[in-house]
Structures are given as structure tokens and as C-alpha cells.
């Protein structure tokens, strides 16, 4: 599966999670379709038909300013509907769409536009399960990760196709923790995206990218390496990303890859805690075309601080230290 259209790292959570929404619902969406005569009849009844058990059902319809009380929710303004529907996942749309024509239309539109989210742990128990389902279903593009620690089996979670993995926007990213690494496999068409979460204690790399990826509002901490982009034409775009307390280098562009750093909250500090030589806060290696570009006003002196090893920035194995630079 491949998704050619994935939000950039500058997309915010609300953009990712509200992309299925349309205008305000009509005032009849929660009620079964009835004729005017049926509506009138029901409104006049104080006693209804007898049920099969012989019990008598009572119906009563109250109105307020001409609007049926049961329909008051439908008067909510569009922006509130969008906020409510932000929390609808694949399962919610599927179940609600069976009884609500408006939500059924939303579900159908979302399917056509490949915008259905999966929620972890509501729709899937684990992040691994969600990645597998999304990879196999072209209707799905986004995984929303809820509060808690989400354990990754093995060294890293393999990402085989373009997808968005974002933390619940209603929860601080410090409380949305993926324990383990993320590995964007080689050959992904499109882009992988991580947003608003914490990656912690990966045995190898917090993020390993052999395909292009974006990150926004992500904390990477206590891993082997922090963030690594590997291979010609691979681009990692990191907006307001913090990498700290990793044992080896903090950010590495290797083998002709490029990493772009953006945003005032971007920082790489207190890494290389194992004290090994050849490791830096910012590192380019294995090709003179490997680059780390900092978008002005960021500078390497501002971003990379208090790292151990051989210092805050450097090059190894054919890398060019001059390729760690600020651009406008």
C-alpha cells in the first residue's frame, strides 16, 4: 500500500484529525425518516400502540422554540461538530454509520478520500496491530495514539508504507510514550509522519529512516541513536523536535541523506552519554553530500548543546562538516 498524500511536518493535530469533517448536520439526522402525518400522530399521542407483551408504550414529544428536544444537539455550530468528530475512529464511523445517515455520509466520504483514523488502544490494542491494519487497508492513513506507554516488540516498529502516527492532541506528549524505535523501511512511496508523542529507550535508534519522513512536536530520549536518516534522496524534516540523553549521536545524516531542522523548540542536547569517540550531537557521515540544514534563525550553536562524545557537531567516514549549516 502506498499513500501519496501525507500531511507535512508543519500540519497540526487538528488538521490531521478533522480532515473528514464537513458542514453542520441537518436537523433530522438522528431520527428515523417519518412522514408528516406520522410525526403529527406521534406528537398528539399520549398513549401508543400496545407492545406484543401487552404493555402500553407512552410517547411524548416536547418542543423548545419550535425544535424537538431530541434534536437540540443538532443545533450545535459547525466548529463544535468538528471537535466532536475529531474523536471518531474507524470503529466509531462504522457503527454509527449504520444508524445515522449523516455519519454514514461522513464515513463514505472519508473512505473515498482515504481519511479514516485508527485509535490506539480503542480500535487496535497495540501500535503494531494498528500499523499492520493501516498498511493493508487503503482507506486508512492515520493512527492516533492515546495516553500511556506503548511497548514495541524487538528493536523497532517497522513502518512499511506512508502513514501518520500522531499522539492524541488532548493529552500532553509526555504522557504518550512509545517505548522502542520507529523504522521507516526503504522504498516507501510518499512520506512517514510522527507527531506529538515521545519515543523512549529504543535499543538502537529512536527513529531510523531509509525513506523520507517528517516529525513535529516529538521528544526522543534515552535511545541508542536519536534520529538517523540513511541513504541518497532520503529527507528527514524535523519541526520542534527534541533529542536528549541518547547514548550515541543525537541526529545523523548518513549515506547522502539530508535532515532539515525547523522551529524554535528544536534542540539536541546531552547526548553521547556513552562517551564514545566519533559521536556528536549533530553528525554527517558516509558521504560528502550528507547534510544537516538548520532553517534560519536556527544555528548549530543554538540547537546542539552539551553533548558528550566528540562534541556538538562533526563529520565521520567521508562526511563534510561544512554540510552542517544554516540556510534561509
Q: Among 115-119, 145-149, 175-179, 320-324, whose mean pLDDT is lowest?
A: 115-119
Q: What percent of the chain has pLDDT over 70?
A: 65
Residue 138, pLDDT score:
80
Q: Where does the pLDDT of residue 266 fall: very low under 50, low under 70, confident under 90, or very high at 90 and above?
A: very high
Please state the pTM of the whole predicted model.
Answer: 0.71
184 within 8 A of 192, measured Cβ to Cβ: yes
Q: What is the mean predicted confidence (pLDDT) over 214-239?
A: 98
Residue 259, pLDDT score:
98
Q: What percent of the chain has pLDDT over 90?
A: 59
Spatial CB neighbours of 13, under 8 Å, sequence gap ≥ 6: 166, 167, 169, 195, 196
Q: 83-88 — which CB contacts under 8 Å span 24+ positions?
A: 85/18, 85/20, 85/21, 86/14, 86/17, 86/18, 86/21, 86/169, 87/119, 88/20, 88/117
- Which has the closest alpha carbon to 94: 81, 105, 107? 107
- Which has the closest alpha carbon to 303: 268, 261, 260? 268
Higher pLDDT, 213 or 63: 213
Alpha-carbon gap, residue 281 to 51, rounded angstroms: 74
Spatial CB neighbours of 184, under 8 Å, sequence gap ≥ 6: 159, 192, 207, 208, 209, 210, 211, 212, 213
3-state secondary structure 28-57: CCCCCCCCHHHHHHHHHCCCCCECCCCCEC
Q: What is the mean predicted confidence (pLDDT) over 230-242?
A: 97
Residue 200, pLDDT score:
98
203 within 8 A of 226, measured Cβ to Cβ: no
What's the pLDDT tens digit per position in 107-135?
666 566 656 688 999 889 999 999 999 99
Q: Which CATH number fits domain 143-327: 2.60.40, 2.160.20, 1.25.40, 1.10.357?
A: 2.160.20
Question: Does 218 score more than 50 pLDDT?
Answer: yes
Q: Considering the chain, what is the average pLDDT of its residues?
A: 79
Q: What is the mean predicted confidence (pLDDT) over 55-68?
A: 45
Work out the number of other CB atoms within 10 angstroms of the CB of residue 106: 22
Residue 90, pLDDT score:
64
Residue 159, pLDDT score:
97
Alpha-carbon gap, residue 309 to 316, rounded angstroms: 13
Alpha-carbon gap, residue 244 to 304, rounded angstroms: 10
Alpha-carbon gap, residue 280 to 252, rounded angstroms: 9
Q: 108-111 — which CB contacts under 8 Å span 24+ positions?
A: 109/20, 109/22, 110/20, 110/139, 111/139
Query: Cα torsion at 310, 314, 317, 320 (round to 10°)?
Result: -160
Residue 325, pLDDT score:
97
Residue 85, pLDDT score:
60
What's the pLDDT tens digit per position in 197-207?
999 999 999 99
Q: What is the mean predicted confidence (pLDDT) over 86-90?
A: 61
The full set of domain ranges for the chain reads 143-327
Q: What is the mean predicted confidence (pLDDT) over 239-259?
A: 98
For 40, 179, 273, the CA distances from 34, given in Å and listed in that order, are 10, 53, 70
Q: What is the mean predicted confidence (pLDDT) over 161-172?
A: 94
Q: In a 3-state reduction of DSSP, which class is residue 109?
A: helix
Residue 186, pLDDT score:
96
Residue 115, pLDDT score:
62
Question: Does 258 score more than 80 pLDDT?
Answer: yes
CA geometry: angle 71, 77, 79, nearest 5 deg: 135
Q: Where does the pLDDT of residue 302 fall: very low under 50, low under 70, confident under 90, or very high at 90 and above?
A: very high
186 within 8 A of 210, measured Cβ to Cβ: yes
Question: Does 21 score more than 50 pLDDT?
Answer: no
Amino acid at each position: 500500500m502506498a499513500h501519496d498524500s501525507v500531511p507535512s511536518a508543519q500540519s497540526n493535530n487538528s488538521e490531521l484529525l478533522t480532515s473528514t469533517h464537513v458542514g453542520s448536520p441537518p436537523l433530522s439526522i438522528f431520527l428515523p425518516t417519518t412522514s408528516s402525518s406520522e410525526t403529527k400522530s406521534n406528537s398528539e399521542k399520549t398513549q401508543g400502540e400496545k407492545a406484543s407483551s401487552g404493555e402500553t408504550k407512552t410517547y411524548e414529544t416536547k418542543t423548545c422554540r419550535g425544535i424537538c428536544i431530541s434534536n437540540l444537539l443538532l443545533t450545535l455550530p459547525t466548529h463544535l461538530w468538528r471537535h466532536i468528530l475529531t474523536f471518531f475512529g474507524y470503529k466509531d464511523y462504522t457503527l454509527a454509520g449504520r444508524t445515522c445517515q449523516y455519519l454514514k455520509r461522513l464515513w463514505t466520504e472519508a473512505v473515498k478520500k482515504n481519511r479514516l483514523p485508527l485509535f490506539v488502544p480503542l480500535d487496535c490494542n497495540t501500535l503494531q496491530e494498528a500499523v499492520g491494519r493501516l498498511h493493508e487497508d487503503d482507506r486508512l492513513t492515520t493512527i492516533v495514539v492515546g495516553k500511556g506507554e506503548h511497548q514495541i516488540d524487538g528493536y523497532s516498529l517497522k513502518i512499511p508504507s506512508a502513514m501518520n502516527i500522531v499522539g492524541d492532541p488532548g493529552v500532553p506528549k509526555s504522557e504518550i510514550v512509545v517505548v522502542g524505535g520507529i523504522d521507516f523501511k526503504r522504498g516507501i512511496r510518499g512520506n512517514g509522519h510522527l507527531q506529538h508523542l515521545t519515543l523512549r529507550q529504543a535499543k538502537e535508534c529512536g527513529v531510523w529512516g531509509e525513506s523520507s519522513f517528517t516529525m513535529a512536536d516529538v521528544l526522543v530520549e534515552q535511545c541508542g541513536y536519536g534520529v538517523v536518516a540513511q541513504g541518497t534522496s532520503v529527507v528527514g524534516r524535523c519541526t520542534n523536535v527534541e533529542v536528549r540523553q541518547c547514548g550515541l549521536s543525537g541526529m545523523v545524516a548518513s549515506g547522502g541523506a539530508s535532515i532539515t531542522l525547523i522551529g524554535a523548540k528544536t534542540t539536541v542536547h546531552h547526548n553521547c552519554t556513552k562517551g564514545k569517540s566519533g559521536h556528536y550531537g549533530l553528525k554527517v557521515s558516509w558521504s560528502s553530500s550528507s547534510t544537516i540544514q538548520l532553517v534560519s534563525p536556527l544555528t548549530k550553536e543554538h540547537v546542539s548543546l552539551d553533548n558528550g562524545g566528540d562534541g556538538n557537531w562533526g563529520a565521520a567516514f567521508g562526511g563534510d562538516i561544512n554540510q552542517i549549516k544554516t540556510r534561509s
